[in-house]
Chains A and B, each alone.
Chain A
């Protein structure tokens, strides 16, 4: 039987051998953590503490001010040094709480364990997930509590778990599946319960057959399906995962809700389980430290707020000639200018390397490779030309807002045109002009 997949996509080299056999190491909490109040999709949290306050491990230090937001918790116990603007991986200055670690990891008293999470009422589960500040750990950091509360007119029948980890270099999700299969399966079951879905399918790329086998064996007494999908980028993108596993297409401009699906990353499922079963809020996360520039690539469990510098030091340090630092994967990750930024809830990877000299850019020769590889079925070359000539209405009509910025087009472009850069510019211009019109 042919392995399931979606149309188009690319096959970048994986580089996963650098870290795939490294079991998780728990990185000790640093002396100081800087916890931004914006680590999620939506509005920043409002600070609940001020300078000089004493905080406990897992204490809520930021409150979500709106539905589209998430709570933020302390990842150490100690004293608040400041609540001030700090440079954020997104490039802007964001309010952050700096805490001096007293080294004792004193937990907040309210962390309660639940004997049988599956017996809980779905509203209680949702509340625990929200109170724990759980957001999507795949990188987009979407507040999970919202995903678990689908609108009444959009019933969910399938929950998909994303175990694809299609980005090169990253291996944290893979190790998580090998080392914590039960937690992931339990978390997934909780998602199924709260969304009232019938089916639960875990999608794993076929370059991780051992993880697939392990999860399949662990799930054999339940109705959970574990499915292999072809290793291809961007298989983990949710619209492409839904298309590959279920053959359904999320309508243009819509969300997975619209086809009755909820997608969660395996790390989110585990964090969710930890939150509901032991009351543990999201204050640490698994990530991969890799790249040719890091001396000892590793998979780590890191406290939120640890600086990238300390993580790099824990991995033997970086080589001298590196010049590129990326948060996330090499295809969609955010490039950073300094190591003095904190690990946040969406930091799935820290990659360091020395980039090759930027290649010469040619004029578009209309080779159509971008069209042949775009997983969303767009015509990137035409969209970019429209953005360049400021024909933004045309660009919108041609579907520029459907671009997920996966980078497949720019990867494959032989003329080395920065396609995603132009697409992003066009999307931002269109969205901000729409906001102005409706303001």
Chain B
């Protein structure tokens, strides 16, 4: 008769090796190609912006965790680092460091911690930070500089989308080439410029099945169809779909922002509706709205619908009668 006792636990007794920090670290690694491209194009300013955003984000999170009496090891789960990196990547490189820091505080504080921290926020935190900065510092947020590689010395510089909307680039024939959009040697936000670098990161995320493939497919597909219809109707007035996919924040939005798990739906049908909604709204703003870029607002807009989508797009249960 042995006295050996064992621990009792609820089944299942085995689990998969993946964990939340591991997922976060895969995302951070997938952002590295775009981060390196941004440092190549915008040199020390890029490094300074990354460091500022990281420090401000981690500090804000630490203060909130301390105030809420939560364990500090949440700082290590990688989610704050991702928000900091993404925020820096969607800011104009010429923005002042203190404005960037304010943006980070708002992103983590108002975008994430007041809702309850990781898993509870409704809006994408980095986008909340950027939206705040857009309203608080409108001039700084719409001033662009050329890349160091361009060796041009101008006080103001247009982004491809800015040229499209405000300088009639299609009619003038000065639409940024696909080659430039890929390499990133153009004006734009810190991490948005190089489509190639972003696509490398996207491949990593898709291969590791970290993101839901439906989201980028839905966004890029809808954008293509929407802009394609107008371009086919009036090619002299509208830019082709490929331009719209590679320019501006669409790639970073489709693969890195909209795919944020906390702020996207959990059901397959809901995810498609969410993605198509983002593509549609972004297309509407780009073609007919006041801003040259619409991806940020369309993601925030669709984030609002996620709880509703989760509630009303339940998948069919095995054995449930199919709707006639």
Nearest CB on B from A331, distance (A)? 4
Nearest CB on B from A327, distance (A)? 10
Give the distance in Å from the alpha carbon of A411 to the alpha carbon of B11 in the complex.
10
Give the distance in Å from the alpha carbon of A416 to the alpha carbon of B23 in the complex.
13
Give the interface size class of chain A: 35 or more
**Residue in contact with B19 in the complex, picked from A372, A414, A421, CB distance below 8 Å:** A414
* 0/1 interface trace, chain B 264-290, chain A, CB 8 Å (1 if under): 111110010000000000000000000
Nearest CB on A from B263, distance (A)? 8
Give the residues in chain A near B118, CB-CB below 8 Å: 362-363, 365
A338 within 8 A of B: yes
Q: Are B20 and A414 in contact (CB under 8 A)?
A: yes
In this complex, how many residues of chain B approach chain A with their Cβ under 8 Å: the count is 46
**Residue in contact with B317 in the complex, picked from A340, A378, A412, CB distance below 8 Å:** A378
Give the distance in Å from the alpha carbon of A376 to the alpha carbon of B11 in the complex.
18
Contacts A368-B267, A379-B314 hold; do A323 and B7 have CB atoms under 8 A apart?
Answer: yes
Interface of B is mostly: loop
Nearest CB on A from B299, distance (A)? 15
User: From residue 1 to 47 of chain B, which have CB atoms closer than 8 A to chain A?
Assistant: 1-2, 4-16, 18-20, 22-23
Contacts A378-B317, A379-B315, A414-B19 hold; do A335 and B117 have CB atoms under 8 A apart?
Answer: no
* 0/1 interface trace, chain A 312-328, chain B, CB 8 Å (1 if under): 00000010001111100
Residue of A nearest to B306 (CB): A366
A232 within 8 A of B: no
Give the distance in Å from the alpha carbon of A363 to the alpha carbon of B65 in the complex.
14
Residue of A nearest to B270 (CB): A368
B236 within 8 A of A: no
Q: Are A337 and B6 in contact (CB under 8 A)?
A: yes
Nearest CB on B from A321, distance (A)? 11
* 0/1 interface trace, chain B 160-196, chain A, CB 8 Å (1 if under): 0000000000000000000000000000000000000
Q: Are B7 and A377 in contact (CB under 8 A)?
A: no
Give the distance in Å from the alpha carbon of A375 to the alpha carbon of B317 in the complex.
9
Give the residues in chain B near A411, CB-CB below 8 Å: 12, 14-16
Give the residues in chain A near B13, CB-CB below 8 Å: 324, 326, 330-331, 333, 335, 355
User: From residue 307 to 361 of chain A, which have CB atoms closer than 8 A to chain B?
Assistant: 309, 318, 322-326, 330-340, 355, 359-360
Contacts A330-B13, A365-B262, A398-B314 hold; do A414 and B119 have CB atoms under 8 A apart?
Answer: no
Q: Are B7 and A324 in contact (CB under 8 A)?
A: yes
Give the distance in Å from the alpha carbon of A309 to the alpha carbon of B4 in the complex.
10
A415 within 8 A of B: yes
Contacts A332-B11, A365-B119, A407-B11 hold; do A377 and B20 have CB atoms under 8 A apart?
Answer: no
Q: Are A364 and B14 in contact (CB under 8 A)?
A: no
B321 within 8 A of A: yes
B320 within 8 A of A: yes
Residue of B nearest to A380 (CB): B266
Q: Are B20 and A379 in contact (CB under 8 A)?
A: no
Give the distance in Å from the alpha carbon of A58 to the alpha carbon of B200 in the complex.
69
Q: Are A366 and B11 in contact (CB under 8 A)?
A: no
Give the residues in chain B near A410, CB-CB below 8 Å: 12, 15
Give the residues in chain A near B316, CB-CB below 8 Å: 377
* 0/1 interface trace, chain B 100-126, chain A, CB 8 Å (1 if under): 000000000000000011111000000
Give the residues in chain A near B261, CB-CB below 8 Å: 365-368
Q: Are B4 and A338 in contact (CB under 8 A)?
A: yes
Q: Are B319 and A249 in contact (CB under 8 A)?
A: yes
Give the distance in Å from the alpha carbon of A324 to the alpha carbon of B15 in the complex.
14
Give the residues in chain B near A251, CB-CB below 8 Å: 319, 321
Most buried by A among B5, B6, B73, B321: B6
Q: Are A335 and B11 in contact (CB under 8 A)?
A: yes
Most buried by A among B14, B18, B264: B14
Give the distance in Å from the alpha carbon of A325 to the alpha carbon of B212 in the complex.
37
Q: Are A331 and B11 in contact (CB under 8 A)?
A: yes
Give the distance in Å from the alpha carbon of A365 to the alpha carbon of B22 in the complex.
13
B155 within 8 A of A: no
Can you list 23 contacts pairing A with B, beta carbon distance less than 8 Å? Answer: A10-B16, A12-B16, A168-B14, A250-B318, A251-B319, A252-B319, A309-B1, A323-B7, A326-B11, A331-B13, A335-B7, A340-B2, A362-B20, A363-B118, A365-B118, A367-B23, A377-B317, A377-B318, A378-B315, A410-B12, A411-B12, A413-B15, A420-B11
New contact pairs (15) apart from A340-B2, A378-B315, A414-B23, CB-CB < 8 Å: A252-B321, A324-B7, A326-B11, A330-B12, A333-B13, A335-B10, A337-B5, A339-B2, A359-B19, A362-B19, A367-B261, A382-B310, A411-B14, A416-B15, A420-B11
